[in-house]
C-alpha cells in the first residue's frame, strides 16, 4: 500500500510541492528561534554560564537563519521569555530545567519533520546527519549544565 502525505492530499496531489516542504522547515526554524531567545533569557538566571548560554543562543539562531527564518521576532521573544522566567521560575535550577524542556520540544519538532513523507532524500539525509544530531547535542549541553551544577551543590 502506498503511503500518501496528508499535506499533499489536502492539496489534491499525490506528491507535495516544494512550498509544503519549505513550510515544514520554517516551522522548525521558528522553534529554533524561540529556543535561541530562551537561551538568552536563561543566561540572566545562571551566574557563570552567561557566555555559554549566549553562545548556545547564537548556535540556535544560526540554524534558524540557515533554515530560512529571518530573526524578526527575536526582541519580542526575548523580552517575553525573560519576563516569564522572572515571574514563574525564579531560580537557577528552574531556569535551566525550563530551558532543557524547550530544547526537548525542539528535538520533537525535528523528529516529527524527519518522519514526514514530504521530505526528499537529500533533506532527510541532512536531517539525519546534521540537524537532528546537532539538536541532541544542544539538549545534552543544557542537561550537562544541570548535572554539573547539582554536583557542585549549586541547588542545595
Sketch the domain layout of the chain as residue ranges: 6-151
Report whether pLDDT(137) > 50: yes
Question: What is the C-alpha separation between 77 and 18, in angstroms, rounded?
Answer: 29
b (16+ CB within 10 A) / e for 86-113: eeebeebbebbbbbbebbeebbebbeeb
Q: What average pLDDT does the segment 129-153 reach?
A: 93
Q: For the domain bounded by 6-151, which CATH number is listed? A: 1.20.1260
Q: pTM score, two decimals? A: 0.74
Q: What average pLDDT does the segment 69-73 reach?
A: 65
Give the mean pLDDT of the chain.
80
pLDDT of residue 59: 95
pLDDT of residue 12: 46
pLDDT of residue 104: 96
Amino acid at each position: 500500500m502506498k503511503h500518501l502525505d496528508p499535506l499533499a492530499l489536502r492539496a489534491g496531489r499525490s506528491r507535495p510541492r516544494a512550498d509544503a516542504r519549505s513550510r515544514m522547515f520554517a516551522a522548525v526554524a521558528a522553534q529554533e528561534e524561540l529556543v535561541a531567545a530562551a537561551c538568552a533569557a536563561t543566561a540572566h538566571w545562571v551566574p557563570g554560564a552567561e557566555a555559554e548560554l549566549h553562545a548556545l543562543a547564537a548556535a540556535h539562531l544560526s540554524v534558524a537563519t540557515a533554515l530560512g527564518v529571518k530573526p524578526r521576532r527575536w526582541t519580542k521573544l526575548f523580552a517575553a521569555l525573560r519576563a516569564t522566567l522572572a515571574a514563574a521560575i525564579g531560580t537557577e535550577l528552574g531556569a535551566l530545567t525550563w530551558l532543557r524542556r524547550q530544547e526537548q520540544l525542539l528535538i520533537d519538532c525535528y523528529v516529527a519533520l524527519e518522519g514526514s513523507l514530504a521530505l526528499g532524500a537529500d533533506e532527510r539525509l541532512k536531517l539525519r546527519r546534521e540537524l537532528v544530531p546537532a539538536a541532541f547535542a544542544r539538549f545534552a549541553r543544557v542537561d550537562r549544565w544541570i548535572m554539573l551544577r547539582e554536583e557542585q551543590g549549586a541547588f542545595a
